[in-house]
Chain A
Amino acid sequence: MHTDFGYFEEDSMGKPYDVKLLRRLFPFTKPYRMLLFGSIVLVVLITLLDLALPYVTKIAIDRYIVPAKYTVSTDAGEQQGEKKRFYIVDLEDPEIKTVVKKYPRLFQTEGSVSRIEFGELNKIESRDLSLLRSNDIRGIVTAAAVFLILIFASFCFNFLQQMIMEYTGQQIMHDLRLSLFQHIQSLSISFFTKNPVGRLVTRVTNDVQNMHELFTSVISFVFKDLFLLTGIAAVLMSISWRLALVSFAVVPVVLFASFMFAGKARNVFRTLRIKIAEINTTLSETISGMKVIQLFGMETENFKRFKRINHENYMAGMRQIKIFGIFMPFIEFLGVLALAIVILYGGSGVLKESISLGALVAFISYVRMFFRPIRDIAEKYNILQNAMASAERIFLILDTHEKLPQPESPSDAMLPKLEGIAEVAMENVRFEYIPGEAVLKGVSFKVQTGEILAVVGPTGSGKTTMINLIIRFYDPLSGRVLINGTDIRSYPPSLFRNRIAMVMQDPFLFSGTVRDNICQGNRQVSDEEMAEILKASNCRSVVDKMPDGLDTVLSEGGLAMSSGERQLISIARAMARNPDLIILDEATSYIDSETEEKIQNALVNLMQTRTAIVVAHRLTTARNADGIIVMNRGRIIETGTHDQLMAHQGFYHRLNLIQQVKAEA
């Protein structure tokens, strides 16, 4: 049913600036610098441990299993140059001496040492061999013990590292969510008319979550990979700098490919982020409008629309698979290519005897190690693209400064004080939502403490807009809104909003108890006060009907209550605020005349020392007012007290009749 998913499409974005984004993310990591640093240290330690493990096995082999104590045999009759490995024993140990004596044919003794050909060892009885090599066995046991200690240490470090990283990452994300939430909350209402709730929710929840990997693994592992990379590169250079340079030849290709693919990957990730927001927006709209959808049998149409968005999400996902499906194998292929180059170049080097075979073998194994961190970094770089696509969206919101200008003041002391609202006025106010379409065309009025001002007029005449300006949801295009004679733009909004209570056309309640909804959580209301509020707002019967009275928990926005009941609760909420100025915007539209009248009377009592502005279609409301403004097409067409207005219209006798009816009630 929509040509597009919402009112305002999200902008596509220009060229990605990762560095800029990373620099902006940096402040968020600042409070956790020590933790991040600690985790990087741990990662390096873990890497060192990982590298130490093969070394332990190497020692076990070289020192104990195949001791390097060999001599070159120069015996005549043997082929020249053949090396033989001998096991050498110390005869000073008496036990060993007995073993050696037991096998005179196998051992060749020279002074205090004796040697045996390595291959002959298995001819010795197992028990004797154990005796003979008890030192080696002890060595093996020690090696195994050291190994055990190392892997246990590695286990602990790993655990610690993961805990730290998760903690840090979660904290950073928490901070990010909070500042995003706070920022969005502080944006002006016009921002919320442009951005569907579903999209904003996606930014605060899914998009921040999407950066999880960036904070928990990418940061520390990139350091580890760089650490490994430089280490291995150094080793490679030390073995053969020429060969090293040749094998590094593919690195620029890797870099180039990464940048190329990063751009493509970013585009796809951007699309994915937008689509997820659209999915959320559609879902949230569908759920709010479910009754209409079901009643008008729109399920199929609506599903089609959702399916289309979901399919676009799928297509973007498939594009991502394609990009990564080419990119990752390509990087791996470059690794193979480097290996092939080493073999070719190094092999011919061996043939020319410019490089030793041993060096080549070592080189090959290191080159293979070299490509692992490269591949990891390339992969992480692309994970980064995903996180950055979210970061872009987040900063796009953080960079929106659609706020109403705050009064500039060097200190709080300089700000105007507001002891109470004594007078509210508008001075020739003009306003338009969309340029060129004036909604208010020069509105002026004044209302003082103890007065009730009624605003009446046909729908779309600008009544609600006027209210929106008084509470400073918007600023006027020209003219001024005044409280106590001072332009409200020179107060911080919270200063006057704290003294205003407002009941809106659409009674919005929060999930939570009825009591919390009425008290707004920030004001202690005594039982007596509450009883009075409930009576004045006619909520008593509503509350009594609820299973747990005031402590009944309302589900989402009190959906199970009727609109009229919700309106009554929102009136109670306004009364509980104990305001200087109360604004009722069509606050009784869902309420029957009798209940409305009771509320009106209560309001008149309540308002004796306060100010009230009441927007209504029904004139019942206006009857009690001290002044009435009649609006039409953004202009005030008639104004005066009720009496004046009535007299002007020749309606005085009618007014008498009204009073008569009131007397009957």
Chain B
Amino acid sequence: MKSLRLVIPYFRDRWIEVALGVLFLIIVDFLQLFIPRIIKWVVDELTAFQIDLPRLWMYALYMLGIGLLIGVFRFGWRHFLIGLSRNVEEGIRNRLFSHIQTLSASYFDKTKTGDLMAHATNDIQHIRMAMGMGIVALTDAIVLGASAIGFMLYINVKLTLYALIPMPLIVLGARFFSKKMHRYYGEVQGEFSELTEAVRERFAGIRIIKAYTRKATELSFFAGKSKAYVQSNMRLVRITGSFFPMMIFFTNLSLAIIIYFGGQQAVRATITPGDFAAFIIYLRLIAWPMMALGWVTNLIQRGRASLDRVNTIIETEPEIIEPASPATPLETFKRITFEDISFSYNGNLRSVLNNIRIEIQAGEILGIIGPPGSGKTTLLNLLPRLYDVSGGRILIDAVDIRKMRISDLRRLISNVPQEPFLFAGTIRDNITLADPLIQEEALMEAVEKAALYETIHSFPDGFDTLVGERGIILSGGQKQRIALARAFLNDAPILILDDPISQVDVETGAGIIRSISQMAGHRTIFIVSHRLSAVRFADRIISMVDGRIVGSGSHSELLETNRYYSKTYHLQELEEELDLHAY
């Protein structure tokens, strides 16, 4: 029940409302007992002919008054108790979301988006239901159950004990079933997550599905997931479907026992027939709280299973952690040092980077080249601590970056990832990241540098063009240039460019590279590219293969010493010259 700590604070913070809600609920329960009393009075007085019309009116008005009070208090508990559950829903969802944002890149490598979506909607909804109606039904069950038992004890202690014979069975049964319910609910919710992810992935990859005529395959895959979900629900309903009738059965069993024992006692005149009759009426009163109890168990087990699931995420510690005592933030620095870096993903044995040693002075440009999978992107991911090194250290001046506050570190860095990511908003928002303080001139300058100005102006809505989910309406090259403009606008001293011109044509690419080379001296730049024209101006270029640096030097040095570099260069030089003339 560790996961309960997620909801307890809400009770603590809003205890007045919870207390009021429960109080109102109890008041309603008792007020409801009054109505039969009034009816009894009326009937008694009618029997004795002691009533006249005004008195009848009085009783009717009494009833209406009580009915009104019940209504008011009902509104009250609904507002407080169910309102609390909405509050919990909002709070836990916010907490889940902000926690997810702190998790490291490695977490998202292994966690499915659809799974997280199911957590944020389906599971949190279950928690809400358990909190709201759960509390209500529980209070009801306790109050009504206790008062009915109280009445019964008042009439006849021995019979009451008889009537309570099935109680231990109920408790045992509830315990047994709760455990199973909890487990099966966990399974059902797990299957729901799978289902969500299956749908999400298929809609995200709809183009591949269509192009590869996989609709039928995907439908049957999805049908399989949906079937599995149905089956897990059926496993669950074997439990919930027998639990609920079982609660009713045990309540009725009490009645059978009372008929058997109480009936015989009444025949033997040990108790009066009146006692017997009254007893049966009160036992019937217990039926509702018992059913409520069954319902509560169901809701709470479902909520608990979801709470456990949500809690698992919230308890996931980010792998990238803030230092206990962060170093003072740097404004400027002299050098960045990669000291014998090695790295492997998720404790995987195969290392992606081996013994990387680089030292780069502030204002220098470092070019990185190499075939796919040689570790270029991984190397760039280490500097802003998307991942932490497995061995060695990265130092900015003399400070290990793990000793810096993460936000301080990242503020030093501006980044263009390999696959540009755009948010569903306007182009302006995507470049400025909705920073209202950005000056129009700065924006224009960044856009010019990214060779984007004319493109944006060719759109009828210009900067206010909405780009759709992940920038879906734009071409690859347009997205990439928006990501570039975003990074140029951010005036951080370090600029990381991961293959920044892979999707733009050579001419545009050349313009962008010109902008980048003009930043030399102002910014420390790491640039990965498959196009050597994008790195040839670098102060130093490293050539990577299989996670190792196999060549290092300036353009002219590498041209002589590194076969891969020189061959690629010749291939591309001709190509680009040809290209430039082709237009």
Main secondary structure of the interface of B (DSSP, over half): helix
From B117, B421, B570, A201 is in contact (CB under 8 Å) with B117
Q: Quick check: A196 and B56 within 8 Å, CB to CB?
A: no
Stretch at the interface among B260-268, B394-402, B550-558: B260-268
CB contact list, B530-548 vs A, under 8 A: 530-531
With A295-B386, A555-B109, A630-B582 already in contact, the answer to whether A510 and B234 are too (CB < 8 A) is: no
Contact with A along B263-285 (1 / 0, CB 8 A): 11011111001001100100010
B87 at the interface (CB under 8 A from A): yes
Other-chain contact of B263, A1, A65, A335 (Cβ < 8 Å)? A65
A126 touches B240 (CB 8 A): no
**Pairwise interchain contact B120-A283, C-beta atoms closer than 8 A:** yes
B246 within 8 A of A: yes
- Whether B97 pairs with A60 at a CB distance below 8 angstroms is no
Contacts of B238 in A (CB 8 A): 163
A351 to chain B: which residues have CB within 8 Å?
46, 51-53, 56
CA distance A65 to B277 in the complex (A): 10
Check A484 for interface membership: any CB of B closer than 8 A: no
Q: Judge whether B327 is part of the interface by a CB distance below 8 angstroms.
A: no
- Taking CB atoms, residues of chain A closer than 8 Å to B345 are 560
Q: Which residues of B have CB within 8 Å of A597?
A: 571
Q: Are A661 and B574 in contact (CB under 8 A)?
A: yes
Contacts of A288 in B (CB 8 A): 113, 421, 470
Q: Give the size category of A's interface with B.
A: 35 or more
Q: Is the CB of B255 within 8 A of A57?
A: yes
Report how far A555 CA is from B61 CA in the complex, Å: 69
A68 shortest CB reach to chain B, Å: 12
Q: How far is the CA of A293 from the CA of B98 in the complex (A)?
A: 12
Q: What is the CA–CA distance of A617 and B346 in the complex, to the nearest angstrom?
A: 36
Decide: B53 and A297 in contact? CB cutoff 8 A.
no
Contact A65 B266 (CB under 8 A): yes
Asked whether B56 lies within 8 Å of A343 as measured between CB atoms, the reply is yes
B406-429: contact bitstring with A at CB < 8 Å (1 yes, 0 no)? 010011010101110101111001
**Contact indicator B97/A303 (Cβ below 8 Å):** yes
Residue of B nearest to A134 (CB): B267
What are the interface flags for A316-344 relative to B under an 8 Å C-beta threshold, 1 for contact and 0 otherwise?
A: 01100110111011101101110111011
Is residue A147 contacting chain B, with contact meaning CB distance below 8 A?
yes
Is A592 in contact with B241, judged by CB distance below 8 angstroms?
Answer: no
Q: How far is the CB of A516 from chain B (nearest CB, A)?
A: 10
Q: Does B508 contact A (CB under 8 A)?
A: yes
Q: CB distance B530 to A53 under 8 Å?
A: no
Q: Which of B4-12, B144-152, B331-339, B367-375 sits within the interface?
A: B367-375
B108 CB-CB contact with A under 8 Å? yes
Q: Which of B480-506 contact A (CB under 8 A)?
A: 481, 486, 490, 499, 502-506
Q: Does A223 contact B (CB under 8 A)?
A: no
A16-35 vs B: 1/0 string, CB under 8 Å? 00000000000000000000
Could you say which residues of chain B place their CB within 8 Å of the CB of A126? Answer: 268, 270
Enumerate chain B residues within 8 angstroms of A198, measured Cβ to Cβ. 117, 200
**Inter-chain CB contacts under 8 Å: number:** 561
Asked whether, in the complex, the Cβ of A294 is within 8 Å of the Cβ of B219, the reply is no
Q: Which of B61, B89, B114, B386 has the most CB of A within 10 A?
A: B114
CB neighbours (8 Å) of A343 from chain B are 38-39, 42, 56, 59-60, 63
Stretch in A412-420, A496-504, A601-609 touching the partner = A496-504
Known: A285-B423, A592-B369, A597-B571. A151 touches B530 (CB 8 A): no
A555 touches B63 (CB 8 A): no
Q: A200-B199, A556-B201 are in contact. Are A279 and B101 (CB under 8 A)?
A: no
Q: Is the CB of B433 within 8 A of A336?
A: no
Contact flag A158-B476 (CB < 8 Å), given A181-B222, A297-B411, A547-B350 = no
Q: Which of B69-77, B170-178, B305-313, B353-361 binds A? A: B69-77
Give the CA-CA distance A215 to B240 in the complex, in Å.
17
Q: Which of B253, B413, B469, B477 has the most chain A CB atoms closer than 10 A to its own CB? A: B469
Chain A residue numbers with a CB within 8 Å of B245 are 154-156, 158-159, 162
6 A-B pairs with the lowest CB-CB distances in the bound complex, closest first: A459-B477, A564-B372, A336-B67, A1-B434, A158-B245, A162-B241
Between A and B, 27 residue pairs with Cβ closer than 8 Å are A1-B434, A53-B252, A61-B273, A166-B234, A181-B219, A197-B204, A205-B118, A205-B122, A205-B196, A279-B93, A281-B424, A287-B100, A288-B421, A292-B421, A303-B101, A321-B79, A325-B78, A339-B39, A351-B51, A364-B39, A458-B477, A460-B455, A511-B197, A562-B378, A590-B372, A592-B371, A592-B372
> What would 20 more interface pairs be, CB under 8 Å, given A289-B421, A343-B59?
A151-B252, A174-B229, A178-B226, A182-B215, A196-B469, A200-B203, A287-B116, A289-B423, A314-B89, A314-B90, A333-B67, A339-B39, A458-B507, A459-B477, A520-B214, A586-B503, A590-B372, A590-B502, A593-B571, A661-B567
